[in-house]
Amino acid sequence: MNFALMNFTGVKHAATTSAPVGAADLTVVGGGGHVGIPLVLAFAEAGYRVNVHDTNRAVLETLQSGRLPFIEYGGEDLLAKALKQNRLVFTSSPAEISRTGPLIITIGTPIDEFLNPVRKVVQDCIDALLPHLADGQLLVLRSTVFPGTTEWLDGYLTRNNRALKVAFCPERTVQGHGIKELRETPQIISGTTPAAEAEAGKLFSAIAPELVMVSPREAELAKLFNNAYRYIEFAAANQFYLIAKAAGLDYRRIYDAMKRNYPRARGIPTPGLAAGPCLMKDTAQLAAFAQNQFSLGNAAMLVNEGLVLHICDDLRRRYDLSRMTVGLLGMAFKAEIDDTRASLSYKFKKVLANLAGAVLTTDPFVSTDAELLALEEVIARSDILILCAPHSAYRDLDFAGKPVVDVWGFLAQGERDLVARHAEFVGTRLATLSEGKEGSHALVDAVTKSVRAPAGLWAGIFHMKNNDGSAHESNP
Ligand SMILES: NC(=O)c1ccc[n+]([C@@H]2O[C@H](COP(=O)([O-])OP(=O)(O)OC[C@H]3O[C@@H](n4cnc5c(N)ncnc54)[C@H](O)[C@@H]3O)[C@@H](O)[C@H]2O)c1
């Protein structure tokens, strides 16, 4: 028996009931989203009855059926328990929302196509809810917001003769692992009045290990600084990688040298695609707040977004891509999750669509993209592969001797960056030939052509015999 209670105004097929929502201890607006779900489950686990409010009815129905709409590690057991204990009340219409208890807003807060923050989404959400909220209720903004939004909201409510308490308590957990991280991460608390701050602190003390009390503007900046700093760290790693690559060096070896048993280098991340719905968006929000004087943030965007362009350009210079098929491994924006939002894998796909003969894509987690193919098919049909998301399933794969671009330094076999390997091989070969007074021009010519040839030829070249007659290892 399913104890969850649906309360969808206007939903044709869902049973509705009005009683339970009044019994909710708190409401999470956007409760079916990536931030909302772990938060809902954490409060339910702490004994609260939660009004899960979301305009996306499909997501609510999925939750009500005991399934998560996306990967949230540790979430399914908590959801089953919360449903069993009758702790969740689902609503999708503002008119159905709980008029008692705090309201936590976790809706998406995007930037527009010109990288400007869009405050309107917050205002539209509040405008829809306001007629159904009671004065005295605590309204907590948890979405990442442009600095000043919390004070703006407070003033907006006052101008509309409403007396709700306003707080800003940002979410800082990492996607997919929110349940674990909510238990471990200090919670930043701020309010526009001492009463709002105190009530927000009391609320989050039920699920957070530690509270950090600051003013709303400090909290807004702390959240943006956290994300922008992470984004800049990734950009530094990516730029180091590009510098080493331009110098013809293997960055994996340098990375190991920098970090091994050297505590001050512990935090240096690997290079890789820095993507997802938050890091660049929040760096852009901070840049807008800083009157576009956030030079480090802007540089980080250029490096991180530019990494894809650099790799594509590099491949274009080395191969006749128009006659080749490129396979993209991992379309989620990071490892071991199914979220494709703002994934740089799709930037690869777009750029390569103009350069390559064909682009094939695969991902073991993503279920929302009808163009994805099975991994085996992508490997079999591709001439070159690019590791986009370092899912653990890819680590020990056999790529059938095909070249693989691995910026992350993740694959057990190492990056098969063809030309680097190839140049190494050709160098040895030319030296041998010149010592043996063989004509090297024919080989140089053959090699030059092979650089523009499909994978079959590569396999042939890599398996030529060494001087001692042993097979040349293409996969060290
Ligand atoms: N995803 C993360 O890991 C993460 C981490 C920290 C902070 N944040 C921030 O949290 C916010 C939410 O991010 P997200 O990834 O959870 O977004 P999301 O799109 O996954 O979730 C937002 C949810 O809000 C719902 N929604 C939108 N407008 C609504 C409205 N007016 N009324 C009710 N429901 C509404 C949507 O249907 C959706 O389910 C953003 O500001 C983001 O920057 C995200």
Q: Is the pLDDT of residue 461 over 80?
A: no
What residue's CA is closest to ligand 1, atom 44?
A: 35
The tens digit of pLDDT for each residue in 229-244 reads 999 999 999 999 999 9
pLDDT of residue 19: 37
pLDDT of residue 416: 56
Q: Is the pLDDT of residue 16 over 50?
A: no
| Ligand 1 neighbour 64 (Cβ under 6 A) | no
371: left (phi over 0), alpha (psi -120 to 50) or beta: alpha
Distance CA(116)–CA(26), nearest Å, equals 32
Q: Report the pLDDT averaged over residues 211-223.
A: 98
CB atoms within 10 A of CB 400: 11
What's the pTM? Answer: 0.85
**415: pLDDT confidence band, cut at 50, 70 and 90?**
low
Q: Is the pLDDT of residue 31 over 80?
A: yes
Q: Which residue has the higher pLDDT, 185 or 16?
A: 185
pLDDT of residue 23: 77
Residues 6+ away with beta carbon under 8 Å from 372? 331, 361, 362, 363, 366
**20: pLDDT confidence band, cut at 50, 70 and 90?**
low
Q: Report the pLDDT averaged over residues 55-62.
A: 98
Q: How much distance in Å is there from the Cα of 2 to the middle of ligand 1?
A: 26
CB atoms within 10 A of CB 441: 9
> Shortest CA distance to 94 belongs to which of 51, 50, 59, 63?
51
Share of the chain above pLDDT 70, in %: 82
Q: Which residue has the higher pLDDT, 324 or 446?
A: 324
Task: Report the chain's mean pLDDT, rounded to a whole number.
Answer: 86
Distance CA(397)–CA(380), nearest Å, equals 12
The tens digit of pLDDT for each residue in 424-448 reads 433 433 333 333 333 333 333 333 3
Q: Where are the beta strands (DSSP E) in 287-339?
A: 325-329
pLDDT of residue 413: 78
The tens digit of pLDDT for each residue in 107-117 reads 999 999 999 99
Q: Is the pLDDT of residue 97 over 60?
A: yes
Burial of 215 (0-12, 13-18, 19+ CB in 10 A): middle
Q: How much distance in Å is there from the Cα of 159 to the middle of ligand 1?
A: 27
Amino acid at 94: P
Q: How much distance in Å is there from the Cα of 13 to the middle of ligand 1?
A: 26
What residue's CA is closest to ligand 1, atom 31?
A: 125
